[in-house]
């Protein structure tokens, strides 16, 4: 990797995404930069647009795969001001790069309930909003008042009311020309004892049903409308199914584990085989929850 500067921002070239991917798989991004504030972000996006350089804003790399041939643009990670949490009257103002687990702990420390489920999600608030992530029957969209965004075409920063976003199951901002900068969330207060109890209950469920201490990026496929993805996979694919270093988790069929570094194209081929087996058995086409980018 080598470093350059654009508008006084440090730019890293030839960024190896496998080093930060939770699955330990990923191609090379041509450029990478960490941006700490709105002014620098607007300058950078404006420059990238002018130069016709594609860009991708990444959260925790817990649910993202860059293809084998890499990403011929810039990966941007938000930090600095985007890592702040502010409790203001009846609102919580949260930056998009705040870790889900850390935010859940903040809520516990301030006796705020409703965010216990975030303790079990290995992502960021921005990534969570981007795809309306959730677990155990909870979704982030139910807690949002407004989302603060940067329009990547007009370069304007604004706040969008939750009712105007049209959140759906695992669908938030995937088809919108916005970068999520943060959000305003609802508050509901409870005792720390009750909040801690709920966190512990959900964490136990996670440990019982999801793989631990392995290279894993969370749920791979979205649940179809009337049946869960793990049921479809478990009735279509033997749990010993293995392709190189990647395999189905024996704890949960919609989680895949990776024993060592594996080329992204082998991960994609593995997913295609799963999709084919499920379609052959159930005539249902699975849709990926894993976000895949690149050439």
- Does the annotation mark 219 as catalytic? yes
- 266 in Cβ contact with 272 (< 8 Å): no
- Which of 219, 236, 249, 253 is catalytic? The answer is 219
SS (H, E, C) the chain: CEEEEECCEEEEEEEEHHHCCCCCCCCEEEEEEEECCHHHHHHHHHHHHHCCCCEEEECCCCCEEECCCCEEEEEEEECHHHHCEEEECCEEEEECCCEHHHHHHHHHHCCECCCHHHHHCCCEHHHHHHHCCEECCEEHHHHEEEEEEEECCCCCEEEEEHHHCCCECCECCCCCCEEEEEEEEECCECCHHHHHHHHHHHHHHHHHHCCCCCECCCECECCCCCCCHHHHHHCCCCCCCEECCEEECCCCCCEEEECCCCCHHHHHHHHHHHHHHHHHHHCCCCCECCEEECC
- Which of 170, 249, 253, 275 is catalytic? The answer is 170
**How far are the Cα atoms of 7, 46, 58, 173 from residue 180, in angstroms, in the given order?**
21, 16, 10, 8
- 112 in Cβ contact with 187 (< 8 Å): yes
Q: Is 163 exposed, middle or buried (0-12, 13-18, 19+ CB in 10 A)?
A: exposed
- Does the annotation mark 116 as catalytic? no
- Does the annotation mark 13 as catalytic? no
Q: Tell me the catalytic residues.
A: 170, 219, 289
């Amino acid at each position: 990797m080598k470093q350059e500067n654009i508008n006084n921002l440090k730019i890293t070239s030839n960024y190896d995404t496998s080093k930060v991917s939770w699955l330990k798989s990923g191609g090379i991004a041509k450029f990478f930069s960490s941006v700490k504030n709105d002014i620098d972000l607007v300058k950078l996006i404006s420059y990238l647009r002018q130069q016709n350089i594609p860009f991708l804003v990444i959260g925790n790399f817990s649910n993202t795969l860059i293809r084998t041939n890499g990403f011929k643009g810039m990966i941007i990670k938000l930090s600095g001001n985007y890592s702040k949490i502010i409790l203001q009257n009846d609102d919580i103002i949260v930056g998009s790069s705040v870790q889900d687990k850390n935010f859940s702990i903040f809520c516990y420390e301030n006796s705020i309930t409703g965010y216990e489920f975030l303790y079990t999600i290995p992502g960021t608030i921005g990534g969570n909003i981007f795809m309306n992530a959730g677990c155990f029957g909870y979704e982030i969209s139910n807690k949002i008042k407004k989302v603060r965004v940067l329009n990547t075409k007009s370069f304007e920063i604004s706040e969008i009311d939750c009712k105007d976003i049209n959140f759906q199951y695992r669908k938030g901002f995937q088809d919108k020309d916005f970068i999520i900068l943060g959000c305003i969330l609802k508050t509901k207060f409870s005792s720390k004892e009750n909040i801690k109890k709920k966190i512990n209950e959900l964490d136990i469920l996670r440990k019982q049903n999801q793989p631990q201490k392995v290279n894993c990026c969370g749920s791979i496929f979205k649940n179809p409308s009337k049946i869960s993805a793990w049921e479809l996979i478990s009735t279509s694919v033997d749990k010993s199914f293995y392709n190189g270093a990647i395999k189905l988790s024996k704890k949960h069929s919609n989680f895949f584990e990776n024993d060592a570094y594996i080329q992204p194209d082998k991960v994609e081929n593995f997913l295609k085989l799963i999709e084919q087996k499920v379609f052959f058995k159930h005539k249902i086409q699975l849709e990926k929850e894993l976000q895949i980018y690149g050439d």
